Homo-oligomer: A and B are copies of this chain.
C-alpha cells in the first residue's frame, strides 16, 4: 500500500513516499538494513556536533526483549505496534558534553537524526511509524536510562503489511488521505503571519 504525498510541486521521491503505517508484515528486517538506517541517523547535523541521539533496539528475533520494549509504549500504540518486527526507542542527552549545561536543541537534533533514519528506511523499502505515546518512566526503569537523558519517541519499523488485518478503526485510519497545512500558513516574510511572496 502506497500513500504518496499530494505535493504542490515535485519533491525528492523518498520524502514524498514516506508515510506512517500501522500495518507491518512479519518479514524480519535484515541486519544490514538495520545498520544502514542507524548509520544514516549518525550523520545528521547537531548543535556543536554533540550528536545527542541514542537508540535502543529490539527485534522479534528475541521475543523476551521485544515484549519488554513493547511494554514501554502506551496501550493504544501496543495494539498495532506489536505487528512491527523491530521497535526502537530514541533518547536525547539533555546536557552538552562540552560544558555540562542544558542543551535546548537536544530534542530538535534527535528529530534531525530520526529524519535521516526514516528517509534511509524508505529508500530500503521499509515502513516506519514514529510514536510520541511512550512511557518515559518505565523506559528509565526497564533500561536504566541515566539522569540527563530523556526518552523522546518510539519507532515501529518493518516491511509493509496488510492493513485489513488491523482492527476496523485502525484499518480505516490507515486508508485515510494524508493532510498538511498549506505552505501559506508556514512560510512567512517581513512579519509574523505574512505569507512569503516566494510561496504565493
Residues of A within 8 A of B (CB): 5, 7-12, 14-16, 18, 20, 31-32, 34-36, 38-45, 47-49, 51, 53-59, 65, 104-105, 107-112, 114-116, 118-120, 123, 130, 132, 143-146, 149, 152-153, 178-181, 183, 186-192, 196, 198-199
Contacting residues, chain B, for A12 (C-beta < 8 A): 14, 40, 119-120, 123
In the bound assembly, the distance between CA atoms of A196 and B188 in angstroms comes to: 44
> Which 4 pairs, one residue from A and one from B, show the smallest C-beta to C-beta distance?
A115-B115, A111-B111, A108-B111, A107-B108
Please, could you name 26 A-B residue pairs with CB atoms under 8 Å apart, sorted by A? A9-B36, A11-B39, A12-B40, A12-B120, A15-B119, A20-B45, A38-B186, A42-B180, A43-B180, A44-B115, A49-B180, A51-B186, A54-B186, A55-B188, A56-B188, A56-B192, A56-B196, A57-B188, A104-B107, A107-B108, A108-B110, A111-B112, A111-B114, A112-B114, A116-B119, A149-B192
Chain B residues in 8 Å Cβ range of A56: 187-189, 192, 196
Q: Which residues of B contact A132 (CB under 8 A)?
A: 47-48, 104-105
Taking A12-B40, A105-B152 as known contacts, 8 extra A-B pairs with beta carbons closer than 8 A to each other, sorted by chain A number, are: A7-B43, A15-B116, A38-B199, A45-B130, A47-B132, A51-B186, A57-B187, A111-B114
Q: Which residues of B contact A104 (CB under 8 A)?
A: 107, 132
- Bound Cα distance A120, B115 (Å): 12
Contact check: which of B11, B38, B130, B180 meets A36 at CB < 8 Å? Answer: B11
Q: Which of B8, B115, B180, B198 contacts A112 (CB 8 A)?
A: B115
A181 cross-chain contacts in B, Cβ below 8 A: 42, 51
Query: Given known contacts A49-B179, A144-B191, is B39 in contact with A7 (CB within 8 Å)?
Result: yes
